[in-house]
Structure 1
């Protein structure tokens, strides 16, 4: 199954199983790319957030007018930080932001439970590395990519290059199928 993309300089479509690295400055500026990825040609999507809470993800989706009825959100922060958690069948939590097995389990369950065109936005692999280390973060990325391939879904994985050593960045690039790079001035380039 092919998925349309609406991202400057990227191909107009990619096959199921495609994992895209979104390399960007730690200052961000990626919300339009991320929400455009989720909005286009999608029946259901999962946002895995190691950077913000579910509430903040919901606010972003609302601000960019992304259909929240298609959304599942995995909040990795709220339980660990003792924040109140909103209930809901489409909101998922793990015990801590470094619970990599829990994260992968939620991703797999989401892909098993939903049919059609499914997308995953993982924001961010770099933040996961802050909590779990580079090796665990890269392994988690690899496991998620294998699930995308198995279930014919696609994913966008946020990475801040300045926080990783060159070997880790090379490994992440080898695991992914394409790279969208956002420069400090906001311009983008893509290599697939």
Structure 2
């Protein structure tokens, strides 16, 4: 099963099971890349949000004209911050962003309960590492990549290139076949596997 990947000047397909790493500045405008990834060629998608509430994710999807009927949202911050949890069938929660087992479990549940083409966006690995630790997030990333492979789904993983040192960036980069690099001035480059 192949999926469309249209980012910047690149339009191609990637096979199910592919993880895509999005390297970006701390305050980079990732919403357009994220929503373009989610709305193309998909039956259902899951947004794992570590920075905004489920309602704010929903507003982002509305703003970028993404079909919300296909959306599931995992909100990792509302419980910890004491925000009220909005009850909706497509909203899910874990206790805090450092509950990596809970995050992986929710992704597994989403992939196992939906058929067809599925996409997952994790916004962001950097934020998860802030709450947990880099090693834990690295291990969780491997688990999520294995789940994507098992279910022939694809995932977009956000990572800030301003927050982590070169060794950490290289360590994560080595896990991914496709890397999108968003520069400070908004330029986008896409590294694809060599044929």
* TM-score normalized with structure 2 length: 0.96
Query: Secondary structure at 1:29's aligned position in 2?
Result: coil
CA distance in 2, matches of 1:63, 1:146: 32
Q: CA deviation at 1:177?
A: 1.3
CA distance in 2, matches of 1:156, 1:135: 19
Would the aligned equivalents of 1:38 and 1:45 in 2 still touch at CA under 8 Å?
A: yes
* Map 1:62-77 → 2, pairs under 5 A: 62-77=62-77
Would the aligned equivalents of 2:17 and 2:150 in 1 still touch at CA under 8 Å?
A: yes
**Match status 1:110 vs 2:105:** no
Number of aligned residue pairs: give it: 192
Q: CA deviation at 1:52?
A: 1.0
* TM-score normalized with structure 1 length: 0.98
* Map 1:7-156 → 2, pairs under 5 A: 7-156=7-156
Would the aligned equivalents of 1:10 and 1:191 in 2 still touch at CA under 8 Å?
A: no
Would the aligned equivalents of 1:43 and 1:116 in 2 still touch at CA under 8 Å?
A: yes
Structure 1: tracts of 5 or more residues without a match: none
Single out whichever of 5-14 and 16-25 deviates more from structure 2.
Answer: 5-14
Deviations 1:71-113 (A, max 9, x none): 0000000001100011111110001110000000000000000
Q: CA deviation at 1:9?
A: 4.0
Structure 2: tracts of 5 or more residues without a match: none
Would the aligned equivalents of 1:50 and 1:123 in 2 still touch at CA under 8 Å?
A: yes
Single out whichever of 99-108 and 9-18 deviates more from structure 2.
Answer: 9-18
Query: Secondary structure at 2:115's aligned position in 1?
Result: coil
Q: CA deviation at 1:33?
A: 0.7
RMSD: 0.9
CA distance in 1, matches of 2:91, 2:98: 18
Compared CA separation, residues 132 and 155, structure 1 to 2 (3 A):
same
Single out whichever of 170-179 and 114-123 deviates more from structure 2.
Answer: 170-179
Would the aligned equivalents of 2:48 and 2:122 in 1 still touch at CA under 8 Å?
A: yes
